[in-house]
Amino acid sequence: MLGVSRRQLVAMATVVLAIALAVWLAFDHLLPAPPKTITIAAGSKGGAYEFYAHKYRDVLARYGVTVEVRSTEGTVENLDLLKDPTSGVDIGFVQGGVSNASQAPDLESMGRINYLAFFIFCRAGETFADLTQLKGKRIAVGPAASGTNLAATKILKTNGITPQNATFLTLGGRAAVDALDAGKADVLFMGSVLEAPLIQNLLRDPGVAVVSLPRVKALVRRFAFLTRLELPSGVIDLERNIPSSDVTLIGTTSSVLVRADLHPEIVGLLARALVEVNGEPGIFQQFGEFPTNSDPEYPMAEGARDFYKNGPSFLHRYLPFWVTIYVRRLLAILVTVAAIAVPVFSYAPKVYLWLVRRHIVQLYRDLRAIEEGLAPDLSRSRLSAFAGELERIDRAASKLPMRHSDLFFALQTQIGLTRSHLDAALARPHLAAV
């Protein structure tokens, strides 16, 4: 058809399939599907970060994403894991005031997620009124690689309590509580959230007292990352009046950090989980106060900022999570194909006309070969062969599209002339048979 052989058609089809495959592979590389399993670095067993990590895990599980929660010593270890590309950790909790973007340039923030209170507990019969009274005491200040440890040592040092005049125990979470119960620790310094089961149990334990700190305003002025928190009397249990009086606490805020190369769809899904889990009002925060759309220490992840501002995308509102992924990839491929096809199709009429003219030129060449071959001494069999070739040219010419009728009639005129010459040659008497 139009001078295009079967081999050429196969070659063209192969090229088209190769281009389609190349486009698919390119988008598979440029727009890879999000991972179905991610790892979050939490903190010690029973701590605030583990509490939130489990809640995020439950939310993401509804969308087909598995979250593996890795127990750590806390903020410092979480940062080390996030900065190590071979650790397998994608997300981590980090306490405010410990690090910043200059120290961790490959990390982005999902925003501040909560107020992290530093609860100070002691045995009920051994309460104290001021941190300066802790000289000679055994104080659980959190694991060495935790943000609680860093904050506790700073706060205690400001009050004159150092490892030189007190015993600092690098214990946190359940291990710290066990040490208090066993009489191996006198004071617990625990950074956590009020909702954590471990904190709830300690606040309700009649053998344990929570300490209200004086001069918190001075600490907040000394350390910009700290904030004053208030635990009203009876807020834990009105009937039993727990706590029995207002408790002033010192606290900070926490961030959820992600690696900068975490898939944008996972970032958006995690932002949804943060809004669901951390957006509710609490004892220390108002409704919608967290998660924040800014972070004073780290750049915000673009997907998180966009979700907090605009909510889920149009596709995510009406389609399941994984369906949305493939629809978005398909749309991207279609847009790319359209961008390639539009200019190609603009040249298609010119290419088509070129093929038609090429086909006609070939027919004229074949026709000329017949004309040049009509010698006076040709045999009947040779003339019959020319007649068959002329019929083939005539059939091919008859397939020209109607829009090229001018070319068709011009060619038919030449075919008619050649046919008359051939008929005259066949009418000559005494033609040799062979």
User: What residues does each domain of the chain span?
Assistant: 37-312
pLDDT at residue 92, rounded to an integer: 96
Which position has the higher pLDDT, 257 or 391? 257
Query: Quick one: average pLDDT of 108-125?
Result: 94
Q: Kindly report the CATH number that applies to the domain delimited by 37-312.
A: 3.40.190.10
Tokens of 325: 């992924």
**Confidence band, pLDDT 50/70/90 cuts, at residue 52:** very high
Do the Cβ atoms of 153 and 96 come closer than 8 Å? no
pLDDT at residue 3, rounded to an integer: 46
1 pLDDT above the threshold of 50: no
Query: Quick one: average pLDDT of 177-194?
Result: 93
**285 in helix, strand or coil?**
coil
Q: What's the mean per-residue pLDDT of the chain? A: 85
Query: Quick one: average pLDDT of 118-133?
Result: 92
pLDDT at residue 5, rounded to an integer: 55
**385 in helix, strand or coil?**
helix
pLDDT at residue 25, rounded to an integer: 65
Alpha-carbon separation of residue 36 from 33, 65, 66, 277, 384 (angstroms): 9, 5, 6, 21, 74
53 pLDDT above the threshold of 60: yes
pLDDT at residue 420, rounded to an integer: 81
pTM: 0.68
pLDDT at residue 15, rounded to an integer: 64
Nearest in space to 202 (alpha carbons), one of 148, 95, 124 = 124
DSSP 236: S
Query: Quick one: average pLDDT of 221-244?
Result: 92
Question: What percent of the chain is helix, strand and coil (3-state, nearest 5)?
Answer: 50, 15, 35
pLDDT at residue 329, rounded to an integer: 67
pLDDT at residue 327, rounded to an integer: 72
Distance CA 46, CA 29 (A): 40
Query: Quick one: average pLDDT of 172-182?
Result: 92
Alpha carbon of residue 123 to chain centroid = 47
Q: Work out the number of other CB atoms within 10 angstroms of the CB of residue 244.
A: 11
Q: Of 294-308, 365-379, 380-394, where does the model show the most confidence? A: 294-308
